[in-house]
A and B are shown apart, each in its own frame.
Chain A
């Protein structure tokens, strides 16, 4: 009965072999999303490289856990591994909100650079203090705005709009721009846009395409305000009990996957934005010269992050701004 030993290592196996273990990994993104593809590939590679001894049992697309309870399940060992957004981790580890701070990561390369240095170490440490080990920072891509009222050419254009928001810091920015953040289940956004219950929504273009926003929203504004990040986290006490050999295998494979996903993020953002345009959305790309104005108007959201994440938050913002 394999499931009864799930999450625990048995003592079988010789020195050269990986100790047999089954690791349960849950994620909540659609199966064809590039992060999902990367994660599935990660699981397959680990299983193969370990000669089938380190088995990763994947529960895809919210089959087992949705994003809301994912973190608790990882923290309590309900699953050994899970993928969830940094935004949701920020509600337990406020410093994780760094990725939601408007315009903190101006482009893909700098985001990658920031995530290979001090920023990563400090975030990892904050996560470990709460009981999870971070194995991978998977780039989702940038968040943008879709709406039905007018093209958003400056922050003032947000005035009076009702926009479906994700997470608290983006909501603060929407508020700061003069719009009202609205809270809706992901399943109702399409209908709400179609019937004009809300004026707009924010999300990555990958998700907008998947959810057919092009059918119900006219304008797409590319302002790259937030670099959405997904975290592959492992229950810490489970991790600590793994043999070094297995830890190394997992870390190395995760690192390779992370690189692959980072490359995909950029390509996917570009592809999906183009496809949305081809399907009839009017796309406006905020010129780089305008971004300081957008950033300045979003300052209240940045202040909220500092207020929440305290000294660590300030340190992280400094690190990011030095790199930029």
Chain B
């Protein structure tokens, strides 16, 4: 049983790390864009990289941060029905919805991985001066997807909890 609890806390840490990296990416995006504005308006010399890298960072922040967001019940959920059904039904619905979420994440991860490999084989780059190999930013999808799979598994392990989320 001990191995399971180690595994559980390992996965949980992994998901938290994903959240931390997502936060760093948002801050990086902010810094890069600010730098670009200053470079352009003060030094009349816009960068060729800021816009593009900023987009990659934000894409990363979504997929890497999504599992953490799930674990902290911050994805918007409609809890109209959940709140009025008996405790037992609530528990069952909790399991059902987490299994559904896991199925989505699994399909998402598998096909994203396949897609990344395909892009790698084709050698597609971004069509800008940077010519970033596109499989690199696309990697955020399968990695984020895998974290989401873990997150839904942990939710199932935790039992049929179903809490609505939402902070905006």
Stretch at the interface among B4-12, B18-26, B39-47, B146-154: B39-47
Query: Residues of B within 8 Å of A, CB-based: how many?
Result: 20
Q: Is the interface of B mostly helix, strand, loop or mixed?
A: loop
Assuming the contacts A76-B118, A168-B131, A183-B51, asked whether A91 and B44 have C-beta atoms less than 8 A apart, the reply is no
- Establish whether residues A91 and B46, one from each chain, have CB atoms under 8 Å apart when the complex forms: no
The residues of A that contact B34 with a CB separation of less than 8 Å are none
Assuming the contacts A76-B118, A181-B48, A183-B51, asked whether A168 and B124 have C-beta atoms less than 8 A apart, the reply is no
Q: Which chain B residue has the least Cβ–Cβ distance from A68? A: B127
- Which of these, B115, B122, B129, B131, contacts A181 with CB under 8 Å? B129
Complex CA distance for A168 and B124, rounded to whole angstroms: 14
Assuming the contacts A76-B118, A92-B123, A183-B52, asked whether A162 and B128 have C-beta atoms less than 8 A apart, the reply is no
The residues of B that contact A167 with a CB separation of less than 8 Å are 127-128
- Establish whether residues B40 and A162, one from each chain, have CB atoms under 8 Å apart when the complex forms: yes
The residues of A that contact B52 with a CB separation of less than 8 Å are 183
B126 at interface, CB cutoff 8 A: yes
The residues of A that contact B119 with a CB separation of less than 8 Å are 72
Assuming the contacts A87-B127, A90-B127, A162-B40, asked whether A130 and B45 have C-beta atoms less than 8 A apart, the reply is no
Please indicate which of the listed interface residues A76, A168, A171 has the most CB atoms of chain B within 10 Å of its own CB.
A168
Q: Is the interface of A mostly helix, strand, loop or mixed?
A: mixed
Taking the closest CB of chain B, its distance from the CB of A59, in whole angstroms, is 21
Chain A interface residues toward B at CB < 8 A: 71-72, 75-76, 87-88, 90-92, 130-131, 160, 162, 167-168, 171-172, 175, 180-184, 308
Taking the closest CB of chain A, its distance from the CB of B133, in whole angstroms, is 10
Taking the closest CB of chain A, its distance from the CB of B51, in whole angstroms, is 4
Report 30 cross-chain contacts, Cβ distance below 8 Å, ordered by A residue.
A71-B124, A72-B115, A72-B119, A72-B124, A75-B118, A76-B115, A76-B118, A90-B127, A91-B124, A91-B125, A91-B126, A91-B131, A91-B134, A92-B122, A92-B123, A130-B122, A160-B44, A162-B40, A162-B46, A167-B127, A168-B129, A172-B129, A180-B40, A180-B44, A180-B45, A182-B46, A183-B48, A183-B51, A183-B52, A183-B128
